[in-house]
Amino acid sequence: MRVIIAVLSVFMFAQAQDMVNLSSIKDKEMVKCLSGYIKENKTHVRMIIDQNGKKELQIPREYVNHCRDTLNR
């Protein structure tokens, strides 16, 4: 029972995060940094499929903020 509650709370936290569409990021260095961050930390991204079947990858804004800080150093 505790495991189920823990999984649900993590899922609900993930749903509440502020997300950014990956297609909205045009800076190649930022995309490269995000790719490395996701691969290195084994984190997740979310794929949204709208009613028209268009797929969109979303990443948490905290990843973008991390890479922005890293690139500005």
Higher pLDDT pick, 58 / 14: 58
Tell me the domain boundaries of the chain. 18-71
The reported pLDDT for the residue numbered 46 is 86
The reported pLDDT for the residue numbered 16 is 59
The reported pLDDT for the residue numbered 9 is 41
Taking a C-beta distance cutoff of 8 angstroms, is the pair 56, 47 a contact? yes
- Tell me the whole-structure pTM to 2 decimals: 0.66
Taking a C-beta distance cutoff of 8 angstroms, is the pair 19, 60 a contact? yes
The reported pLDDT for the residue numbered 48 is 87
What is the gyration radius of the CA atoms in the chain, in angstroms?
Answer: 14
As given in the structure block, the two tokens for residue 16 are 């509440």
- Write down the residue that tokens 């990443």 correspond to: 59
DSSP string spanning 14-39? HHHS-EEEGGG---HHHHHHHHHHHH
pLDDT in tens, 20-56: 998 999 999 999 999 999 888 887 788 888 888 889 9
